[in-house]
């Protein structure tokens, strides 16, 4: 099962472009991450890929079927976990699971089996009979993730699935998504969290101002930046180099080797200096920040 975005763009009735030119292909058994800040066009892109929004231009294709011309065929293949979770306050996680699966045409017996399996997978079995109104926001979020994974849909979309979750709950969600991808699901998710993208992404699509500006594996995207290390400086009285990235509470200076980074660090007078290997965040800042930027 593959998902293809070809020059996808969406212009809303007020004239604002939610997405301008998004291109990528999501493969079966892989987690494809749409990475970008709030307002970059990630949610709009998900809307077009899941038939909720009609593209103004371009094509959205799920397993060879157009999201515009074959709406119902596509909807049978997909499941969507949106940013905003709507679980009836009076329903328990178990009620929500069984109700959702019944709507999707799954038998009562099979629905009970899947509900148990995925509530356990998302660490929700102990609260399965508690009304949603008494659950935390993070628990409700995990219920929604459990629902779409239990659906049996071969293609799953998740919009900011770990937003609002604590550290432990995030890892529970990440682990469940990885297991489902390993079983052959095609998973497409959005995030603005660099760590999440780096940990989960088999394929990462960087989106900025409505456009896909780079895409590839994490290692391929890191190779786009001509540095191997960075010096992270906090509370510096003065920097010896003019070329640095100012992130407010910290400043970043890049180096082409660890040795060069150590030489630069020795010249800096600061309360806190650290040398690290470059990350996906550095690649994003380099590409989206305007240096070497362009469609890959």
Please tell me whether residues 53 and 172 are part of one structural domain. Answer: yes
Please tell me whether residues 269 and 191 are part of one structural domain. Answer: no
The answer to the question of residue 287 being in a domain is no
Please tell me whether residues 27 and 170 are part of one structural domain. Answer: yes
Please tell me whether residues 159 and 271 are part of one structural domain. Answer: no
- Last residue of some domain: 193, 222, 251? 222
Please tell me whether residues 248 and 120 are part of one structural domain. Answer: no
The answer to the question of residue 294 being in a domain is no
The answer to the question of residue 50 being in a domain is yes
The answer to the question of residue 289 being in a domain is no
pLDDT tens track, the chain, 296 positions: 799 999 999 999 999 999 999 999 999 999 999 999 999 999 999 999 999 999 999 999 999 999 999 999 999 999 999 998 778 889 999 999 999 999 999 999 999 999 999 999 999 999 999 999 999 999 999 999 999 999 999 999 999 999 889 999 999 999 999 999 999 999 999 999 999 999 999 999 999 999 999 999 999 999 999 999 999 998 776 676 656 777 777 888 889 999 999 998 888 877 788 999 999 999 998 888 753 333 33
CATH number of the domain to which 48 belongs? 3.40.50.300
> Cα–Cα distance between 276 and 84 in angstroms, integer?
36
The answer to the question of residue 7 being in a domain is yes
The answer to the question of residue 288 being in a domain is no
- Last residue of some domain: 203, 222, 241? 222
**pLDDT for res 244:** 74
The answer to the question of residue 132 being in a domain is yes
- Last residue of some domain: 185, 203, 222? 222
Please tell me whether residues 131 and 238 are part of one structural domain. Answer: no
Please tell me whether residues 90 and 213 are part of one structural domain. Answer: yes
Please tell me whether residues 163 and 244 are part of one structural domain. Answer: no
The answer to the question of residue 283 being in a domain is no
How distant, in Å, are the alpha carbons of 35, 229, 235, 256, 282 from that of 247?
19, 17, 12, 20, 12
Domain count, the chain: 2
**pLDDT for res 291:** 39
Please tell me whether residues 207 and 255 are part of one structural domain. Answer: no
Please tell me whether residues 89 and 217 are part of one structural domain. Answer: yes
Domain region containing 263: 229-277
Neighbours of 15 (CB within 10 A): 6
Please tell me whether residues 94 and 193 are part of one structural domain. Answer: yes
Please tell me whether residues 32 and 88 are part of one structural domain. Answer: yes
């Amino acid at each position: 099962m593959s998902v293809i975005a070809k020059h996808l763009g969406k212009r809303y009735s007020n004239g604002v472009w939610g997405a301008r030119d998004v291109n990528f292909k999501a493969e079966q058994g892989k987690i494809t991450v749409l990475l970008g800040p709030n307002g970059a066009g990630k949610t709009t892109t998900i809307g077009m890929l899941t038939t909720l929004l009609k593209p103004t231009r371009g094509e959205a294709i799920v397993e060879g079927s157009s999201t515009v011309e074959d709406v119902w065929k596509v909807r049978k293949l997909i499941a969507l976990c949106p940013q905003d979770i709507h679980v009836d306050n009076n329903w328990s996680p178990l009620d929500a699971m069984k109700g959702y699966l019944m709507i999707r045409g799954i038998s009562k017996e099979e629905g009970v089996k899947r509900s148990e399996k995925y509530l356990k997978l998302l660490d929700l079995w102990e609260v399965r009979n508690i009304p949603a109104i008494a659950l935390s926001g993070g628990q409700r979020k995990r219920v929604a993730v459990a629902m779409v994974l239990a659906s049996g849909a071969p293609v799953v979309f998740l919009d900011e699935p770990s937003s609002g979750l604590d550290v432990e709950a995030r890892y529970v969600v990440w682990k469940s998504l990885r297991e489902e991808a390993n079983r052959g699901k095609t998973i497409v998710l959005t995030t603005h969290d660099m760590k999440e993208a780096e940990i989960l992404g088999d394929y990462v699509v960087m989106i900025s101002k409505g456009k896909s500006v780079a895409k590839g594996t994490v290692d391929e995207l890191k190779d786009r930046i001509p540095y191997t290390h960075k010096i992270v400086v906090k509370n510096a009285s003065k920097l010896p180099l003019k070329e640095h990235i100012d992130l407010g509470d910290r400043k970043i200076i890049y180096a082409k080797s660890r040795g060069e980074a150590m030489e630069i660090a020795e010249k800096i007078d600061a309360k806190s200096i650290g040398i690290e290997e470059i990350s996906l965040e550095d690649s994003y800042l380099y590409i989206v920040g305007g240096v070497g930027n362009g469609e890959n």
